[in-house]
């Protein structure tokens, strides 16, 4: 295995060097992000008007170590590769922009998410029922937005939740009964 790593680094270096700001990034020699995850993440960021920096390969965000521009400060992406050649996006953190108002539907295609932090973004409207897709979430923070309506009935698959922060929104009504079955939920700020 030893000679492989320098080779990959050299190839990645070539790809970075070839990239021009504002032009499509050339494909990496080895795709490591699940294609559906990569497409969904790109769509999410496009909807939010957040551009990837020139060193980010849109087809392989998990292979990126160097997120520049606004990302370094307020957004991060984490992946799990688990010894598999294909990495899945497991962590997404986009906080503190204050100018993001919609939850893009493509977000709910990131079905391997374990942690999602969308706090301090001015998101509005109801929490979409498609949140049911995110059944692996352990951490879900969306505090300090303008989300309204009930905590969705469709959230019952999210029984791995450990940390749920939803304060400073306009969520109304009681939690659905099934929340009593979220036995790992020890960090709830409603």
Ligand X SMILES: *[C@@H]1O[C@H](CO)[C@@H](O)[C@H](O)[C@H]1NC(C)=O
> φ and ψ at 39, to 5 degrees?
-65, -40
Does 36 participate in binding ligand X (rule CB under 6 A)?
yes
Minimum distance between the CB of residue 63 and ligand X, rounded to whole angstroms? 18
d(CA 54, CA 21): 5
Burial readout 34-69 (b: 16 or more C-beta within 10 A, e: otherwise): beebbebbbebbeebebebeebbbbbbbbbbeebee
Among residues 12 and 158, whose Cβ is nearest to ligand X? 158
- For tokens 């504002």, the residue is 22
Q: H or E element: which one contains 163?
A: strand 163-165
Instruction: Spell out the long-range contacts of 150-156 with Cβ–Cβ below 8 A and sequence spacing 24 or more.
Output: 150/126, 151/127, 151/175, 151/176, 151/179, 152/126, 152/127, 152/128, 153/129, 154/129, 154/130, 155/127, 155/131, 156/132
The site that binds ligand X (CB under 6 A) totals a number of residues, namely 43
Query: Residue with the closest Cβ to ligand X?
Result: 96
d(CA 114, CA 77): 11
**Which 106-145 positions form the footprint of ligand X (CB under 6 A)?**
106, 108-109, 111, 115, 117, 122, 124, 129-130, 132-133, 139, 141
User: Which part of the chain contacts ligand X (CB under 6 A), choosing from 3-11, 19-27, 60-68, 88-96?
Assistant: 88-96
Does 188 participate in binding ligand X (rule CB under 6 A)?
no
Does 177 participate in binding ligand X (rule CB under 6 A)?
yes
Among residues 12 and 161, whose Cβ is nearest to ligand X? 161
User: Which of 49, 72, 167, 187 forms a contact with ligand X (CB under 6 A)?
Assistant: 49
User: Which of 46, 74, 80, 135 forms a contact with ligand X (CB under 6 A)?
Assistant: 74
Residues at the site binding ligand X, with contacts judged by CB under 6 A: 36, 39-40, 43, 48-50, 70, 73-74, 93, 95-101, 106, 108-109, 111, 115, 117, 122, 124, 129-130, 132-133, 139, 141, 146, 150, 153, 159-160, 176-178, 181, 183-184
């Amino acid at each position: 295995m030893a000679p492989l790593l320098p080779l990959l680094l050299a190839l990645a270096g070539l790809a970075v060097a070839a990239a021009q700001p504002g032009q499509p990034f050339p494909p990496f020699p080895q795709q490591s992000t699940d294609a559906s995850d990569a497409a969904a993440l790109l769509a999410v960021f496009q909807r939010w008007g957040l551009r990837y920096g020139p060193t980010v390969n849109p087809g392989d965000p998990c292979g990126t170590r160097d997120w520049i521009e606004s990302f370094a400060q307020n957004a991060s992406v984490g992946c799990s590769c688990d010894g598999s050649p294909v990495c899945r996006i497991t962590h997404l953190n986009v906080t503190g922009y204050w100018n993001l108002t919609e939850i893009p539907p493509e977000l709910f295609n990131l079905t391997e998410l374990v942690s999602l932090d969308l706090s301090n973004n001015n998101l509005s409207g109801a929490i979409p029922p498609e949140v049911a897709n995110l059944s692996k979430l352990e951490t879900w923070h969306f505090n300090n937005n303008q989300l309204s309506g009930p905590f969705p009935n469709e959230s019952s698959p999210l029984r791995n939740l450990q940390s749920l922060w939803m304060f400073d929104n306009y969520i109304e009504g009681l939690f659905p009964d099934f929340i009593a079955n979220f036995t790992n939920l020890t960090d709830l700020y409603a």
